[in-house]
Amino acid sequence: MASLKDKLPAIDPRGFVLPLLLIVVWQAVTSSGWVDTRIIMPPSAVLSAGWKWLNSGLALESIGASLFRDASGFVLGAAAGITIGLLFGTSKLANNVFGPTFHTLKHISIFAWIPLLSAFFGRDDLAKIVFIAFATLYPVALATIEGVRSIAKSQYEVADVYGFTPRQALFRLILPAASPQIITGLHLGLIFAWLATMGAEFLLASTGEGLGMTVIRGRAAFRVDLIIFGMLIIGAFGMLLNELATRAESRLLHWRGHAR
Amino acid sequence: MSTIQSLDKPLVIEPLASLLPRISIPSLGNLPARFGRIGLGIIFPLLLLYLWQIATERVWLPPQLLPEPAFVWETLVDMVSSGELAGHLAVSLQRVLWSVLIGGSIGLAIGFAMGLSKTAKAYLYPSFSLFSQFPVIAWSPLMIIFFGIDEALKISTITVAVIVPFAVATYKGIENVPVKLREVGQIYQFSFAQTLWRIALPAALPAILGGVRQGAMQAWLALVFVELLASSEGLGYLLVYARNLMQLDVVMVCMATIGLVGLIFDFALGFIERHFSRWAPKGR
């Protein structure tokens, strides 16, 4: 195990200049009264509003509700995406019959599905989770197709020689061999799922709780402090998910070594 | 995949080049096979259409939820011939165009600065990579407060969406310029402008064009979102408006239009990208 100092990259202080400058300017213009502080709140107001919100118990509920939607949609979408990807990757017939429809539909921006989904599923959790699953499905499926197609012919021949059953071929050859791409697709899917969670909560704001809905209600009530704080939390969770996915990816793919 | 992966993760869909149909001149030998494949691809949509027709005839779902295919077609013809669809489409495309121009310029500037100057990179890169991790969607409520719900909101939100892919592609394109080329420039004592125009720009062009395509796709995605959120004209507005009146025929026409535009963007820009990649430097 390397020491912590070795693992951390050298930090260049010049990187802090811009963010600090931003905060200083922000604080300066708000405290000097050059701008309407109802629209541009001072950083301290944002922090105190955020602190109050975090302590209110509402925060935990909102974050929990959003993460629950995100996770349910992601799991459903990832399972469907891998299944579709395996089907398209292994069966030429399936690819020829369903492929063109599948690849044409992917050009419809995901958010354009929201009005139609809301007509069918309402504005509650069901519609949101279906939408998140849908947003996850495409990157996962596309990556899985790529992964399955990149398996070398010789690997299939070995499986043939050993007389693998289809089941064995799936679990011993196809899934392991395609796993790098599948995991990359899952990583991308995770980012998309979070994006879709926020999009769904903004566009399908209903009576429930959620990070996105807190922010969008903050907008309706003109609570700029809450909006900014909510944005920071949304971004922080996005980064956290991304970081976790990156770590999981490198750990899961450790067996491949560094050679590409 | 290149070495710096963390930057391009948020929002950027890696184009799966292998899935894009290649334009090739079919020889007579594989012509029947090609037609066979196209024929197979048409079966499924036709089947869906048939199922849709049956479902509406037997009223499996209320007609508000599932309008008849013929009715949707009529709506499409109506909206095209009355110019309604074209009007909203023009508004949306104009927004995308402005945003791509503004966001593209900013993104190019950031990308060039980070790619060409180590000092600029030291100052910009940490902030930029933080900024690139924030989903555009999260910005939109704040933008509504600052810019209201008018044109400025749409342009600014879409612009933010465009900056990241442009900047990332440009930066990577320049960073991957072969060292040999830079050395040649040094030997000839190129000025900064010459280095930029004669070496950095041509060598990075294929990567930049990739960024243009991704930027346009991101712009289209963000446009639909922001028009759904707050708008009084444009395709997204029409979608919400029709949904609120439960005119799902109009909703479907809008979705098809959005898909078609996305498809055209992808194909046209992908074609340009491939055209210019042919003379891209291969070695490092």
Instruction: From first to last of the 260 residues of chain A, give the pLDDT tens digit.
Output: 445 555 556 677 888 888 888 888 888 888 777 777 777 778 888 888 888 888 888 888 889 999 999 999 999 999 999 999 999 988 888 888 888 888 888 889 899 999 999 988 888 889 999 999 999 999 999 999 999 988 888 888 888 888 888 888 888 888 888 888 999 999 999 999 999 999 999 888 777 788 888 888 887 777 888 888 888 888 889 889 888 988 988 888 877 655 44
* DSSP-assigned letter for residue A237: H
A227/B123 CB distance under 8 A = no
Q: What is this model's ipTM?
A: 0.84
Q: Across residues B94-101, what is the average pLDDT?
A: 93
* Cβ contacts of B138 on chain A, cutoff 8 Å: 198, 215, 231, 234-235, 238
Under DSSP, is residue A257 helix (H, G, I), strand (E, B) or coil? coil
Q: Where are the domains of chain B?
A: 1-60, 79-276
CA dihedral B236, B241, B246, B247 (to 10 degrees): -70
* Cβ contacts of A198 on chain B, cutoff 8 Å: 135, 137-138
Tokens 């926020």 correspond to: A198
A111/B145 CB distance under 8 A = no
Question: Which among A12, A96, A202 has CB closest to B137?
Answer: A202
What pTM was estimated for this model as a whole? 0.83
Helix ranges (H only) for chain B are: 31-57, 69-81, 84-116, 118-133, 136-147, 151-175, 179-187, 192-194, 201-229, 235-244, 248-277
pLDDT digits (tens, 9 = 90+) for B201-225: 888 888 889 899 989 998 999 999 9
Residue B124: closest CA among chain A residues belongs to which residue?
Answer: A15
Asked if residues A49 and A109 have their Cβ atoms less than 8 Å apart, the reply is no
Q: Where are the domains of chain A?
A: 48-253
pLDDT digits (tens, 9 = 90+) for B150-209: 888 899 999 999 999 999 999 988 888 888 888 888 888 888 888 888 888 888 888 889
CATH number assigned to the domain covering B79-276: 1.10.3720.10
B127/A19 CB distance under 8 A = yes
Chain A closest-CA separation from residue B99 CA (Å): 17
B242/A104 CB distance under 8 A = no
Interface membership of A180 toward B (CB under 8 Å): no
Helix ranges (H only) for chain A are: 4-7, 17-31, 43-55, 58-90, 92-105, 113-121, 125-149, 153-161, 166-168, 175-203, 211-220, 224-252
CATH number assigned to the domain covering A48-253: 1.10.3720.10
A195/B239 CB distance under 8 A = no
Chain A closest-CA separation from residue B188 CA (Å): 32
